[in-house]
């Protein structure tokens, strides 16, 4: 549960049809129905209007072309991306003749085509279209215009989804700086660009840089959205996880408590996101050797996830794993062993015997068995970890070689009986 669903989050927020450059309502009746969320009726209205006007004015007439953008907006909201792409491409090509490549209507349509391609996960094609839209808007409208910055933000998210993190970072910085200059640091659009930048920096493992951007963005969320808004709470949790990665455990504890308080208030004590905050607080406490408090958090997270998700769910198993670890640190070997066996059985069932998480469970079980003086049982489990690791990864894989080395050390220590504890990862 100590995790960040970063890529999914960027995708969920990216390229929304609700941005300032995509809200133009060219057919009044259809636009009104659309704003009332009567999507199917709006779709029908939009479809009728362009066709009826084509018979009088011709398909290249600017008035017809602009009104034909209406159905694409309604369809986009219904995720009919394939049909939308066809409409946008037809309209875009027709617009270029009477209006020109740099006309605002042409550029709007180009940007929306990029959004549609993004929705279809055709990221390379979306990138090409959005690059053209951005260049056109910079030329026609200026670098700091709202529509230009929307194109930049859309392009950055498309680059991110292709793992072009260095390029995405540059474009996110451009969008964030422009929006902060024109809209202010606490505007929602500025915050979203900052959030995209933070996610990109995390994917580049630049945690310190991510914190620098994330702190003021989080303050902006609290001001603009409110301290208990789900997005604000999600970002409090994100910051706490970054601080855990940076080993700033005391500060991480503060953020975990703040996020937990907010989620308990907004979502309730047994919501999955609340339990995520409970687990992460347990991590922060355990890293500070506050074992009793950490144990209480882990037990609560285990109970809640087990009831809500089932005992074999990955989140439940992670909570049990964390609980076993803190019990082991408190020398509660019997219960720690029992918990590690539960984790091992669950992970073998759901992930397979050779999965890294399963093998890590075996290694932890080795440690607790050894600490109880059950050396033969520990050796059997250690050999099992080495065997399953080699089978899953191959004999030359780094983890396989490490396991073999650790097993050799384990056997040597048993043979010599000169050391009190086996050298295993705790």
**Distance between CA atoms of 188 and 238, rounded to whole angstroms?**
18
Question: Is there a domain that residue 160 lies in?
Answer: yes
The confidence band for 261, taking pLDDT boundaries of 50, 70 and 90, is very high
The confidence band for 409, taking pLDDT boundaries of 50, 70 and 90, is low
More confident residue, 74 or 91: 91
Residue range 35-46: average pLDDT? Answer: 34
The confidence band for 65, taking pLDDT boundaries of 50, 70 and 90, is very low
Question: Is there a domain that residue 85 lies in?
Answer: yes
> Among candidates 111, 76, 106, 73, which has minimal Cα distance to 91?
106
**pLDDT computed for residue 381 by the predictor:** 85
**pLDDT computed for residue 385 by the predictor:** 80
Q: Which tens digits make up the pLDDT trace of 298-317?
A: 999 999 999 999 999 999 99
Query: 3-state DSSP call for residue 313?
Result: coil
The confidence band for 64, taking pLDDT boundaries of 50, 70 and 90, is very low
Q: Which two tokens stand for residue 87?
A: 């409409």
Q: Which two tokens stand for residue 181?
A: 């200059």
**pLDDT computed for residue 82 by the predictor:** 57
341: pLDDT strictly greater than 60: yes
**pLDDT computed for residue 309 by the predictor:** 94
**pLDDT computed for residue 172 by the predictor:** 97
> Among candidates 327, 313, 233, which has minimal Cα distance to 280?
233
209: pLDDT strictly greater than 70: yes
**pLDDT computed for residue 383 by the predictor:** 83
241: pLDDT strictly greater than 80: yes
CB contact set of 266 (below 8 Å; sequence gap of 6+)? 228, 230, 233
| Domain boundary pick from 126, 158, 174 | 174
**pLDDT computed for residue 290 by the predictor:** 98
**pLDDT computed for residue 319 by the predictor:** 95
Residue 20 CB: number of other CB atoms within 10 A? 12
| Domain boundary pick from 174, 196, 214 | 174
| Domain boundary pick from 174, 192, 223 | 174
Spatial contact of 385 and 403, defined as CB atoms under 8 Å apart: yes
Q: Domain range spanning residue 47? A: 1-174
Maximum average pLDDT range among 26-30, 399-403, 418-422? 399-403
Question: Is there a domain that residue 321 lies in?
Answer: no
The CATH number of the domain holding residue 108 is 1.25.40.10
Question: Is there a domain that residue 129 lies in?
Answer: yes
**Distance between CA atoms of 311 and 169, rounded to whole angstroms?**
40
**pLDDT computed for residue 246 by the predictor:** 96
Question: Is there a domain that residue 311 lies in?
Answer: no
Question: Is there a domain that residue 20 lies in?
Answer: yes
Maximum average pLDDT range among 25-34, 50-59, 335-344? 335-344
The confidence band for 225, taking pLDDT boundaries of 50, 70 and 90, is very high
**Distance between CA atoms of 182 and 218, rounded to whole angstroms?**
19
362: pLDDT strictly greater than 60: yes
376: pLDDT strictly greater than 50: yes
Percent of the chain with pLDDT over 90: 55
**pLDDT computed for residue 406 by the predictor:** 62
Question: Is there a domain that residue 291 lies in?
Answer: no
71: pLDDT strictly greater than 60: no
Spatial contact of 217 and 223, defined as CB atoms under 8 Å apart: no
Question: Is there a domain that residue 146 lies in?
Answer: yes
The confidence band for 394, taking pLDDT boundaries of 50, 70 and 90, is low
Residue range 339-357: average pLDDT? Answer: 94
Spatial contact of 280 and 246, defined as CB atoms under 8 Å apart: no
Total structural domains within the chain? 2
**Distance between CA atoms of 174 and 194, rounded to whole angstroms?**
10
In eight-state DSSP terms, residue 120 is T
Residue range 104-125: average pLDDT? Answer: 84
């Amino acid at each position: 549960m100590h995790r960040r669903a970063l890529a999914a989050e960027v995708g969920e927020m990216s390229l929304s049809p609700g941005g300032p450059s995509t809200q133009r309502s060219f057919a009044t009746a259809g636009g009104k129905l659309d704003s009332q969320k009567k999507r199917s009726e709006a779709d029908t209205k939009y479809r009728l209007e362009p066709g009826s006007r084509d018979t009088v004015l011709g398909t290249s007439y600017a008035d017809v072309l602009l009104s034909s953008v209406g159905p694409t907006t309604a369809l986009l909201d219904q995720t009919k991306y394939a049909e939308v792409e066809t409409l946008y491409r037809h309209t875009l090509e027709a617009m270029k003749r009477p209006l020109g490549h740099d006309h605002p209507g042409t550029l709007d349509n180009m940007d929306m085509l990029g959004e549609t391609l993004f929705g279809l996960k055709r990221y390379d094609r979306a990138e090409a279209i959005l690059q053209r839209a951005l260049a056109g808007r910079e030329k026609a409208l200026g670098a700091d215009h709202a529509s230009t910055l929307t194109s930049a933000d859309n392009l950055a998210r498309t680059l991110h989804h292709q793992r072009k993190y260095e390029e995405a970072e540059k474009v996110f910085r451009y969008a964030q700086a422009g929006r902060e200059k024109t809209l202010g640091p606490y505007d929602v659009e500025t915050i979203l660009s900052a959030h995209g930048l933070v996610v990109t920096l995390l994917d580049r493992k630049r945690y310190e840089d991510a914190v620098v951007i994330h702190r003021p963005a989080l303050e902006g969320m609290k001001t603009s959205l409110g301290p208990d808004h789900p997005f604000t709470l999600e970002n409090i949790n994100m910051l706490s996880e970054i601080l855990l990665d940076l080993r700033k455990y005391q500060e991480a504890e503060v953020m975990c408590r703040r996020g937990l308080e907010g989620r308990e208030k907004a979502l309730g004590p047994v919501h999955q996101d609340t339990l995520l905050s409970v687990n992460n607080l347990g991590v922060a406490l355990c890293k500070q050797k506050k074992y009793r408090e950490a144990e209480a958090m882990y037990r609560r997270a285990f109970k809640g996830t087990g009831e809500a998700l089932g005992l074999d769910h990955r989140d439940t198993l992670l909570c049990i794993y964390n609980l076993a670890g803190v019990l082991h640190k408190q020398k509660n070997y019997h219960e720690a062993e029992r918990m590690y066996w539960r984790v091992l059985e669950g992970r073998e069932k759901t992930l397979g015997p050779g999965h890294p998480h399963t093998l890590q469970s075996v290694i932890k079980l080795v440690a607790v068995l050894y600490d109880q003086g059950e050396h033969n049982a520990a050796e059997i489990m250690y050999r099992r970890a080495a065997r399953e690791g080699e089978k899953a990864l191959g004999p030359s894989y780094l983890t396989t070689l490490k396991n073999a080395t650790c097993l050799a050390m384990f056997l040597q220590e048993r043979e010599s009986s000169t050391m009190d504890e086996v050298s295993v990862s705790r």
